Structure 1
Amino acid sequence: MLVSYNWLKEYVDLTGVTPEDLENKITNAGIEVEHLSFVGEGITKVVVGYVESKKPHPEADKLNLCQVSLGDEVVQIVCGAPNVDAGQYVPVAKVGARLPGGVKIKRAKLRGEVSNGMICSLSELGVDPKFVPKEFADGIYVFKDEVVVGEDALPYLNLNDYILELDILPNSAHCLNMIGVAHEVAAILDREVKYPNVDLQEEAASVLSKLDVKITSGAEKVVPYYGARIITDIKIAPSPAWMQNRLIAAGIRPINNIVDISNYVMIEYGQPLHTFDYDTFNSDQVDVRLANKEEKITTLDGVERTLLPSDIVITNTQKAVAIAGVMGGSDTEVTSNTKTILLESALFDARSIRRTATRLNLRTDASSRYEKGLDYNRVTAASNRAASLIAEIAGGNVLSGFAECGQRVIEPEIINMPWKVINDKLGTTLTSEEIRDILVRLGFDAKIENEWMHVLVPTRRPDVSIPEDLVEEVGRIYGYDHLPATLPEGTTSKAELTPYQKLRRKLRRYFEGKGLYETVTYSLTTNEKAKQLTIDESTLNDAVKLKMPMSEEHETLRMSLVPGLIDVAEYHINRQMPNLAIYEIGKVFKAQGSQDQLPNEAEHISGLITGHVHDKSWNRAPETVDFFYVKGVLEGLFDLMGVSNSISYRPAKRPDLHPGRTATIHLNDECVGYIGQLHPNVQNDHDLNETYVFEISLAHLRDQDQSEITYHSLPRFPSITRDIALVVDQSVFADHIKQSIQEAGGKLLSDVTIFDVYEGEHIEEGKKSIAFSITYLDPERTLTDEEVSRAHDRVLASVKEKFDAVLRS
């Protein structure tokens, strides 16, 4: 929800409260302000100018020479906008002015003619092009309201405004409108809310008397109420500048006065409205029903949509003319020829609207409000406000009466509770009067009778229904920072990290020390990506799909972290960041039993490295990541965890990984992860260069964690090193030979290192040579040659027996 600071001042006195103060106060009261921005950021020296004359540029067909008055002087400005003309009041950036993006306006010559400034469009003043009114989309902005030449143009354009972007959660839907935010701010500041002044003048209802509204049997459960009124003799035109400015601030593009008024009232009251062209509606009967199977309608965006019997439609008894609560149909759209409109103000079931909007992938400002629930008692107030504005701005005649069907008034919720419970829960010592005062500031009708409190909850707050909700309301308005910091009585525990928290912190330190950056990706993904690159490929049928996903991109719980890292890599590489090393510690999911059971969760750690490990420098060549670099990162991890001797790697073939550069990782013969290069086809699909990934089950590492720090003194006695080169079959794994050497060497064997692998000339076909450096050491005494020879002979005998290894001559 985008909240204009200037607009908010219409409802609440903000004297002495800066936008920054308001941001902090709203956030501290429990509704996060994600961002505070000044609309005219970076704009200076833009004033109101008056175009005194215009003539063609002598050397350019598409340019004009304009003499523009700036109040204290008249300057010549060369302008190429097609809509510039004499007699206009326009925003002018003077010489020396600055515009968004760091643009500085200088005195210039265009085709030999001097230009002292620039006549500006809204886009040049920082307004997002998608919000610019159509009449100014391809040209400069022209003031239509009364302005003063030479004055700062920003206030006239509402560019002196601050926008607070609120993160509206489902339990704070009452703040999805300006009046709701005003109530919140008024409670925080202990000030009054000023409602809009609605002066509705109605005419005789000769046409309205014939209008009939019906909710067809079967739709009553999802359509509690539907109301409509008729307004005649309207004149379609652009909205006044003040309304356009406020809609733009709210992130809505102005269209025309009728459409803009319905959007304006929706933002103001939170009640979505819809206007039909009454002549093309072509009926005096409104029938609200469930759609027929395979029924079709072309919506306002020009797309033909196929409906299901669970969708609600508005009809003229002959055909559907709108998808209720989501979007109207193109057949009854308000156009420049519209003279009479039918104004809808209705209530629809939140779940039904959510299902329809999600299935059609058609989320609108209206559907987002219906989905979260509306205030029943505000539905006619919003219609009256819109009707009065249409009469005022569009010259319409509002016919008296209201055709309606269903229930639009509900009784407020009453909560009875001991008022001292609030102090017990919050740890405060508030008096009953102080508690009552806070609730009254929130718009609740609260009465105290001895130890009990009786609270009448306004219908605009459906999120408040139980005593615990009142505790939360009092706590956040009183101020969380004012609550005393106490420990539970009788506690003797001390605060410390759990073993699992310590493990995660240790892993983060390790990977960040290796140059990897931590990422956090979505747990929800597409059904296809959810099944890619899993550790256990036998669980692909255990994917968990949401019953009501927000979109196809977020419909299935992930079973691997790697696809999310691939998307992160693609995003960065598309922005000229080819060298990337990232990791993530997060949960993956798989189904257990029926779909109604909660899924199994498992913690995994995953990484992706691509590009250069080191860029080129004056003293070294660039080093490109390869399989063994990534394997080295993991070996350092296993050393840190104390499980290196239990880890082995086995070549593997997986559909999304390179067939010759992939291995599964085994801990005590159990597969706990994999490492490999992405398959070239996958790399091409994501525009990636050579990219390596890994994923490991963290639960298995945690169970085997042997990472207690131990210290060893430097050896006082010398070690003895023997190097051997063994010729074995190409199918033999070097790691298996290494393990055999470690077992056979006994307690005297200190270290084994592979330092060479060779295939080719002087080696029999089908064979390879693997060279090992073996170190023998006794920390308590000096070894004799005989002792080392006996241990070494055991090593050679073991590799001969197990692998038919022959010493290379």
Structure 2
Amino acid sequence: MFVSYKWLQEYVDLTGITAKELADRITKSGIEVESVEVLNKGAQGVVVGHVIEREQHPNADKLSKCLVDIGEGEPVQIICGAPNVAKGQKVAVAKVGAVLPGNLKIKRAKLRGEESNGMICSLQELGIESKLVPKQYADGIFVFPSDAPVGVDALELLNLDDEVLELGLTPNRADCLSMIGVAYEVAAILGRSVKLPAIELHENSESVQDYISVRVDAPEDNPLYAGRIVKNVKIGPSPLWMQTRLMAAGIRPHNNVVDITNYILLEYGQPLHAFDYDRLGSNEIVVRRAKASETIVTLDDVERTITENHLVITNGSVPVALAGVMGGANSEVQDDTTTVFIESAYFTSPVIRQAVKDHGLRSESSTRFEKGIDPARTKEALDRAAALMAEYAGGEVVGGVVEVNTWQPKDVVVTITLDRINRVLGTSIKKEEVAGILTNLQFTFTEDHGTFTITVPSRRRDIAIEEDIIEEVARLYGYDHLPATLPVGEVNPGKLTPYQAKRRHVRRYLEDVGLFQAITYSLTNEAKAAMFALETAEPIRLALPMSEERSVLRQSLVPHLLEAASYNRARQVENVALYEIGSVYLATNEHELPNEKERLAGVLTGVWHAHLWQGEKKAIDFYVVKGILDGLFHMLGLENRMEYKQAKREHLHLGRTAEILLDDKTIGFIGQLHPVVQKEYDLKETYVFELALTDLLHAEVEDIRYSPIPRFPSITRDIALVVDEHIIAGDLQKAIIAAGGELLKDVSIFDVYKGDRLPEGKKSIAFSLRYYDPERTLTDEEVTNVHEQVIKAVEQQFGATLRG
């Protein structure tokens, strides 16, 4: 909403407050003023001039040589390029030394050999947007009315000495979509009174009933419809003051009748429409819902097909306007119009909103109907428009109003106590202050021992409950005056849960070692849904899948990660290391939601690291991926509780796959893709893993305890054990640790041998054992005794022999 500061002064006394100060006060009261625009844009030195003579420039076809009286003694010669300049016109002249918008300074000049002492200006050159300039002056200079005094300030006559406040209204404040509505708001803020426009309406002795009748067939959409007839009008330009106010508000002037309807729209917030009575085609108005496939040509010369969802104004047979949105071309006011029918109505918001949406026709009128107007002003605005047409279009107002009124006003009454207001706002406002605020708002109320019973005026449709009254009191009391308090109570700062913190550490670890996070679809197809799954269940199918490829909820993260790796390889990204933390979905039964379990999965292929200068290149293999997981388990404090067991899993390489156990419970797997699967995804040697992240992160871990660095030397003994080929090295390692007792601190494998020097079906596994006691130096005898127990244990349990 654009609000003219000078226009606003007609309704509220703004003495002692500038436009910028007013903007600040309005903003602090709850309605944001987005900008304050000075209309002259820095222009000065522009006066009204009288073109005494005009002749063709001797050396230019498109220039005119004008002799112009600017009210300063002798007339001056000005060269003008406007096609519409003519003798006898009153025009805007920028004198020598004047400044135009854009800091353009006017100097004496010679144009094609002829001296020019100033510039005859168009409205565009004075800073008015082209879309707001009246059409007759769009391509030339502006011509003032003939009674404009020569030499006076042209900027003042054009209202360019004004300032315009742009209000950023929220949807609930539709009451401020009018000058009177803004006046009520400003008066409440400043504690001043509102002066409403005086309506001096003079009717003739005729009756409007003899001219036209009105019938409303859709009262639920149109509870109030009123109209007046103004005859003997003379179509012409509206008064200059009205044109300039319309332009300041962003509306282009047309003619006196149309401009008056737009003026009332801005003044009262009541949309009006003027019909050419003689072009209506009948002497009746019927308001109804449109018929299926009915058409209307609107004022923008577009034929529109309307439906039963739209409300139309008709002449009893054909539509003459799309109600509340735009008039029809068949009843448009034109230059030869002599009798006008003025429509003022209250249309309900939903039907207007539907028409706007269907036709993409949002206008100043439809905006106000959509947000809701004040029906109490509908007939008052009609009377004001008729009076202005009589005054500025020479019309004669026919006696009476034709109307259909089914609107039943219902008073909105809100009761609230002073205690509640203060309790919500945290204030100690006195009842006299609250009463003063309500009086400034011009709300009718009674007060009884601190209880206020308030009758809300119809213009304030946004107020219906106690909280609305509290808001009104708060914003007019002043948000700056509300006390600032800190919340009272226990402070519980937000933080991550232990599970969330561990999950974040897992992400950081994997990214630190070189993996990239991927996020893939939770939806897949039935063939891939259970591939690589740690747990399987009946597939969960979507009721309305977007495609068969995205029709089932996944039970493993690996298939989509393989798709991502394949996608990258197809684009020459050979080295891929991806991980994902996401959910899989396991069905319980038909009528319950699935179990959602969090998993961690990864896929790695290509080269892990390369130092080309040194000729070193390390391809990703099983032990690279196992090392990454070992580091993860170590970070989580679970390294001593994890175990890898050789396993067979579908889609994985038979000899390069292991299950991962936590406390003897399987929680995941690691392995190389089966060559057939690798070929299917067009991948080279590729390794994958998947872990039940929930089990991993919920595992209880003992607190870290400090172990002092040993002050005494350790003793290392190596043994090579010959065992059957099927014996698992990990089982041997467990037996050694169990037999070594407290003195055996570390056991590691450093060699595995199979060959001609061993019997068939045998292999040699070499272990390095480290013994020490943190409290003393061990003797060879003590170490030998324990070491012999270790050898005896593996001989008994696995039939192992020492390799000679």
TM-score by length of structure 1 reads 0.65
Structure 1 residue 152 corresponds to structure 2 residue 153? yes
CA 659–437 in structure 1, closer or farther in 2 if over 3 Å, else same: farther
**Secondary structure of 2:452's aligned partner:** strand
Percent identity over the alignment? 46
Q: Counterpart amino acid of 2:13?
A: D
User: How do 1:672-711 residues align onto structure 2 when only pairs under 5 Å count?
Assistant: none
| Counterpart-to-counterpart distance in 2, 1:152 and 1:22 | 26
Offset from partner CA, 1:440-496 (integer Å, 9 cap, x none): 1111012112232111111101111111111111110111101111234x42438x7
Provide the C-alpha distance between the structure 1 equivalents of 2:575 and 2:355, rounded to a whole number of angstroms.
46
Partner AA of 1:33 in structure 2: V
Residues 208, 399 of structure 2: 8 Å contact kept: no
1:668 alignment partner AA: E
Q: Distance in 2 between matches of 1:109 and 1:738?
A: 86
Give, in whole Å, the separation in 2 of the partners of 1:302 and 1:661.
59
Q: Deviations over 1:55-99 (max 9, x none)?
A: 110111221111122222532110011221222221112223332
* Correspondence 1:420-499 to 2 at 5 A: 420-488=419-487, 490-493=488-491
Residues 172 and 119 (structure 1), Cα distance of their counterparts in 2 relative to 1, 3 Å cut = same
Distance 1:107 1:421, change over 3 A: same
Q: Which residue of 1 aligns with 2:355?
A: 356
Q: In 1, are the aligned partners of 2:208 and 2:402 still within 8 Å (CA)?
A: no
Whole-Å Cα distance in 1 between the matches of residues 455 and 132 of structure 2? Answer: 41
Aligned residue number for residue 251 of structure 1:
250
Q: Distance in 1 between matches of 2:622 and 2:261?
A: 75
- Return 5+ residue gaps in structure 1 as ranges: 507-533, 540-591, 595-646, 673-699, 705-719, 729-733, 750-765, 770-779, 795-809
The 1:432/1:371 distance shift into structure 2, 3 A limit, reads same
Secondary structure, aligned partner of 2:76: strand
What corresponds to 1:166 in structure 2?
167
Alignment partner, residue 307 of structure 2: 308
From the superposition, tell whether residues 412 and 104 of structure 1 become closer, same or farther in structure 2 (CA, over 3 Å).
same
In structure 2, what is the equivalent of residue 28 of structure 1?
28
2:265–2:272 contact (8 Å) kept in structure 1: yes
Moved more, 289-298 or 144-153: 144-153
Q: 1:650 touches 1:663 (CA, 8 Å); kept in 2?
A: no
Match of 1:14 in 2: 14
In 2, Cα distance between equivalents of 1:333 and 1:280: 8
In structure 1, what is the equivalent of residue 758 of structure 2? Answer: none
Q: Which residue matches 1:114? A: 115
CA distances 1:567-611 after superposition (whole Å, capped 9, x unpaired)? xxxxxxxxxxxxxxxxxxxxxxxxx999xxxxxxxxxxxxxxxxx
CA drift at 1:408 = 4.5
> Match for residue 650 of structure 1?
564
| Residue 183 (structure 1) aligns with | 184
Structure 2: gaps spanning 5 or more residues: 505-518, 525-541, 545-560, 585-595, 601-610, 636-681, 686-708, 711-717, 719-747, 753-804
Q: Secondary structure at the match of 1:424?
A: helix
* Preserved contact between residue 5 and residue 164 of structure 1 (Cα < 8 Å): yes
* Contact 1:379 1:408 survives alignment (8 Å): no
Question: 5 Å matches for 1:359-378?
Answer: 359-378=358-377
Give, in angstroms, the shift of residue 318 of structure 1: 1.0
Q: Which residue of 2 aligns with 1:290?
A: 289
Match of 2:53 in 1: 53
Q: Answer whether contact 1:177 1:266 (CA < 8 A) is retained.
A: yes
Shift of 1:746: 11
Alignment of 1:326-725 (within 5 A): 326-408=325-407, 410-488=409-487, 490-493=488-491, 536=521, 650-651=564-565, 667-668=579-580, 670=582, 725=616
Distance 1:742 1:342, change over 3 A: same
CA contact (8 A) 1:224 1:348 kept: yes
- 1:707-766 deviations in whole A, cap 9, x for unaligned? xxxxxxxxxxxxx999554497xxxxx7999756756999999xxxxxxxxxxxxxxxx9
Q: Is the 8 A contact 1:325 1:348 kept in 2?
A: yes
Q: Provide closer, same or farther for how the CA distance between residues 430 and 115 of structure 1 changes in structure 2, counting only shifts above 3 A.
A: same
Inter-partner Cα distance in structure 1 for 2:374 and 2:293: 33
TM-score (norm 2): 0.65
Secondary structure of residue in 1 paired with 2:253: coil
Deviation at 1:212, TM superposition (A): 1.5
- Secondary structure of 1:65's counterpart equals strand
What is the number of residues matched between the two proteins? 574
- 8 Å CA contact 1:12–1:191 kept in 2: the answer is yes
Q: 1:387-414 CA distances to partner (integer Å, 9 max, x unpaired)?
A: 0000000011111111111235614322
- Aligned-partner Cα distance in 1 for 2:632–2:200: 97
Would the alpha carbon gap of residues 428 and 116 (structure 1) be closer, same or farther in structure 2, given more than 3 Å must change?
same
Contact conserved, 1:665 with 1:671, CA < 8 A, in 2? Answer: no
Post-superposition CA distance 1:31-51 (Å, at most 9, x none)? 011111111113132222222
Distance in 1 between the 2:171 and 2:298 partners? 28
- The answer to whether the 8 A contact 2:48-2:149 is kept is yes
User: Does structure 2 retain, via aligned residues, the 8 Å contact 1:69–1:75?
Assistant: yes
Seen in structure 2, the aligned counterparts of structure 1 residues 746 and 4 have a Cα distance that, compared at 3 Å, is: closer
* Contact preservation (8 Å) 1:270, 1:369: yes
Contact 1:649 1:665 in 2 (8 A): no
Separation (CA, whole Å) in 1 of partners of 2:70 and 2:164: 29
**Deviations, residues 322-355 of structure 1 (Å, cap 9, x unaligned):** 1101111110011101111111011111011111
Greater Cα radius of gyration, structure 1 or 2? 2
Shift of the 362–663 alpha-carbon distance from structure 1 to 2, 3 Å rule, reads farther
Partner SS for 2:160: coil
Q: Secondary structure at the match of 1:461?
A: coil
Distance 1:174 1:745, change over 3 A: closer
User: Is structure 2 residue 41 aligned with structure 1 residue 129?
Assistant: no
Instruction: State which drifts further: 139-148 or 287-296.
Output: 139-148
* Separation in 2, partners of 1:328, 1:370: 15
Would the alpha carbon gap of residues 207 and 741 (structure 1) be closer, same or farther in structure 2, given more than 3 Å must change? same
Structure-2 change in CA distance of 1:14 and 1:739 (3 Å): farther
Distance 1:703 1:117 in 2: 81
CA contact (8 A) 1:415 1:456 kept: yes
Decide which moves more: 131-140 or 142-151: 142-151
1:650 aligned partner, one-letter code: A
Q: Structure 1 368/744 Cα, relative in aligned 2: closer, same or farther at 3 Å? A: closer
Contact 1:650 1:664 (8 Å CA) reproduced:
no
Q: Distance in 2 between matches of 1:406 and 1:366?
A: 21
Q: What amino acid does structure 1 have at the position aligned with 2:21?
A: D
Is contact 1:299-1:329 (8 Å) kept?
A: yes
On the 8 A contact 1:652/1:663 being kept in 2, the answer is no
Specify whether residues 251 and 793 from structure 1 end up closer, same or farther in structure 2 by C-alpha distance, changes over 3 A only: farther
Tell me the distance in 1 between the aligned counterparts of 2:577 and 2:219: 59
Q: Is the 8 A contact 2:582 2:599 kept in 1?
A: no
